[in-house]
Amino acid sequence: MTHYMIIQSQDPFTQVRALQHYDLATSLTQDGNTVRMLLVQDGVSAAHRGAVNPAFEAMLKGGVQVFADAYALSERNIDSTDLHSGIHIAAMDLVARALLAGDKVIWH
């Protein structure tokens, strides 16, 4: 089993490739890997509970652990109560620790 950390900076509303990134995370999980995704920059817009995106929701339900960068949320005035259920707030130390633990880290 491989541990993956995906840093997702793109949102699904302006960057169609974000959908592929969500699908990749879901597929890696289905293959028995541990996958975490940190939403950063515009990537956090999908975390808003008012945002509707089937691929993102499938990823959330598919076992991928999703985190949203506190800094990016703050920049966009998105509060913790505004998030989809199951999304945790984190910071860049999550990525540093994943790299130091030997996880495979991918920046999208």
Partner 1 sequence: MSKPKTLTFAFMDPPFESARTTTFFRLLDATLDAGANINVFAYEGAVALSFVHQKAHGNTVHGRDVEQEGHPLSREWIAALQHKATQIGATFNWINCGLCADERGINEVIDGCGRGSPADLWKFAASADNTLVIGTR
Shorter beta-carbon distance to partner 1: residue 52 or 99:
99
Shorter beta-carbon distance to partner 1: residue 28 or 42:
42
| The residue to which tokens 């302006």 are assigned | 14
Q: What backbone torsions phi and psi does residue 33 show, to the nearest 5 degrees?
A: -90, 160
Radius of gyration of the CA atoms of the chain, in A = 13
**Residue at 2: amino acid letter:** T
For the segment 62-91, give every residue that binds partner 1 (CB under 8 A).
69, 71, 91
Report in angstroms how near the CB of residue 19 gets to partner 1 at its nearest.
Answer: 15
CA atoms within 13 A on the CB side of 45: 12
Give the residues lining the site for partner 1 (CB under 8 A): 7, 9, 40-42, 69, 71, 91-93, 95-97, 99-100, 102-103, 105, 107
